[in-house]
A and B are shown apart, each in its own frame.
Chain A
Amino acid sequence: MKNLTALLLAVGVVAGCAKPAAAPPVEVEAARVSVLPSAPGDAAWNAAPAFTAALLAQDMVEPRLLEPSTPTVKVQALTDGTSVAFRLTWADDTKDDLPGTGRFVDACAVQLPAAASANVPAPQMGESGGTVEISYWSAAWQAIVDGRPDTLAAIEPRAAVDHYPFEAASLPEGSKEQKDMALRYAPARALNGAARPASGKSVQDLRAEGPGTITPAAETKSAGKGVRDASGWEVVIVKPVPEGLRGQARSQVAFAIWNGSHKEVGPRKMRSVWIPLALGAGA
């Protein structure tokens, strides 16, 4: 019995001397840097702490996502005091960047409250009087930024088209008349609608006050870039700190991931709850 007691004591002493396992971070910590990285491969990310955000299927409002897909997203953040750069890394076996009927694209989004408040807006797109600012990145938009032609042939390589009326020989190529006529058959483009980002961007800034209210911001100030390998996506979104959060050392952030091949689009998505966000010494 004495021997057993001594052994247990010895084990206890050794265990007590061992280095304790690091507790997982409980918040997204945006470390302060002087220059923000704009690409996922930038060396600055090597030193940025990582937070693994658990994702939930959006099952609060119809249409819901009833079969969960992407379980987590790894989040890193850096700030220069005026903007925050987020790097989101998640697993996704399939590259979905071609839009089409019944075909959806991979995407992600970062959400911040528009203003500091004791009453944090609802995590699902905010609420009436509780505006959130969202930056949405789409793999389809990234492909166009990366050089895929914004043409039907790029989306439907096997399509054969006889004729478009606005490409008649009588209309000079590139003329105002030709462009005007083409726009008449594409009202969403003529209106600069919500379905497409500003030219040359893979990210769109949006505002919302609850599910179904998302509206493009007057101007997209955020930027982003996404790259992928066989295992999934790495996306950087550089987002100006919302005016209402300027000078705040702490806030909240939420994330959403869409897996196109899982038919995820709009409200059918994986999303996080609000996660505490530490903005260095205050942004």
Chain B
Amino acid sequence: MARVRNWQIDREMSYWYPENRPKRQFAAVFDTNKCIACQTCTLACKTTWTSGKGQEYMLWNNVETKPYGFYPLGWDVKLLGKLGGQKWQGKRYEGHTIFEAAEAGERVHGWRPDELDYAYPNIGEDDCTGAKLERGDFLTLPHNRWFFYLARICNHCTYPACLASCPRGSIYKRPEDGIVLIDQSRCRGYQECVKACPYKKTFFNPMTGTSEKCIACFPKIEMGESNQCFVNCIGKIRHAGFVSKPENVREDNPIDYLVHVRKVALPLYPQFGLEPNIYYVPPIHVPRPFLHQMFGPGVDHALEVYRGAAEDPELAALLSLFGSTQYIVHRFKRENDTVLGFDEKGDEVVRVPLREPIHIRQAWDSARSIARVNVS
């Protein structure tokens, strides 16, 4: 085991390989408050990548309802239970990561899903906490009864458990963009990665005999375009880009701004120790203890900043860019009431007003002396 730096848990930790960060790291921010669980992302991915034989059960992208939704069944609560206490001291995680908690003979502390665990991709869908609404359960923040939607893809982690667990070295992290891939010519289907990945985003294909996973639509990334599940997102909850290490932050990089500068987007279960690179704006209406466990100690700050976004022109500007272009925005700039996005070469690829112009259509058409009706 090597010692590596994991900024998300604010300390060094043990990992199977030495620290070897890519030239740049593919990353994204998902705003959970905007997701409506329409599953358009799920279908966009399914149609593009997993319509083959042996892939029927696979959802490289899925959206589950928390707290009762899981794909596969119990993916997070099983590991949280196995891992034991996960104590934070301020920003520093004092418990064990899944690499530090590995049992004798194992590289990673994991668990092996059963085949049937994948059979309920929409379990718990729209299920609210609590048995029934009672007096006093009027709308408050956080809600007394609540659920939220969690969209998930591979986190293309800085310290992938799948990569660490593969005894054949069949999994690699691309130096050019940090995307984690399984070499389909080398994999022999041992399923160690399926056992190791805490997010359960590697899948065994019984027809090819190999494990497969989200490839972050790397052919599109190479062309400067966003992934299929991003561009098809109806709720415009996703923004793709590249995240820097904390010491290399660039304020005009959208992902850096959200993750490092304003700290409004947080990693999913940072205590697992993988330094995942899909960041989430937490839901505003969910009790804090649940969010602290899921997104770490930065939740209170993130929500405070997010709830002030309407009066925060820079943040409002950047949030307006979500889902506004098929291209990856490497740099953004606000000019008064407009936000501009630029590609890697510096060319403008999108221009969005912070506030859409409002036109009020009067109910009475005085020119024709007739009342308008709302039919299209």
Contact = CB atoms under 8 A, between A and B. Distances in A.
B78 to A, nearest CB: 13
Interface bin, chain B:
35 or more
B55 A101 contact: no
A182 B112 CA distance: 29
A164 B51 contact: yes
25 contacts: A62-B167, A63-B167, A64-B106, A98-B206, A100-B204, A101-B57, A101-B118, A101-B191, A102-B194, A164-B51, A164-B52, A164-B53, A184-B52, A185-B52, A188-B208, A189-B208, A192-B185, A193-B184, A193-B187, A194-B185, A194-B188, A212-B167, A214-B168, A265-B190, A267-B190
Nearest to B190: A266
B186 A186 contact: no
Interface of A: 59, 61-66, 98-104, 140, 150-152, 155-156, 159, 161, 164-166, 182, 184-196, 211-212, 214, 263, 265-267
A102 B119 CA distance: 14
A101 B113 contact: yes
B167 A211 contact: yes
Contact of B53 (A62, A103, A186, A214): A186
Contacts of B53: 151-152, 164, 182, 185-186
B64 to A, nearest CB: 18
B271 interface: no
A103 B188 contact: no
A99 B209 contact: yes
B56 A161 contact: yes
A188 B203 contact: no
Given A101-B204, A189-B208, A195-B208, 19 more contacts: A65-B105, A99-B209, A100-B204, A101-B114, A101-B194, A152-B54, A152-B207, A165-B47, A165-B51, A186-B207, A189-B207, A191-B185, A193-B187, A195-B187, A195-B210, A196-B209, A214-B168, A263-B112, A265-B190
A185 B194 contact: no
Given A63-B106, A63-B167, A193-B208, A188 B191 contact: no
- Which of the listed residues A63, A98, A99 has the most CB atoms from chain B within 10 Å of its own CB? A63
A65 B190 CA distance: 13
Interface string B172-212: 00000000000011111111101000000001111111100
Contacts of B50: 185
A257 B51 CA distance: 35
B104 interface: yes
B115 interface: yes
Contacts of A101: 57, 113-115, 118, 191, 194, 203-204, 206
A212 B168 CA distance: 4
A196 B186 CA distance: 11
B185 A62 contact: no
B113 A99 contact: no
B104 A66 contact: yes
Given A194-B185, A194-B186, A62 B107 contact: yes
Contact of A265 (B55, B105, B114, B191): B191
A152 B56 contact: yes
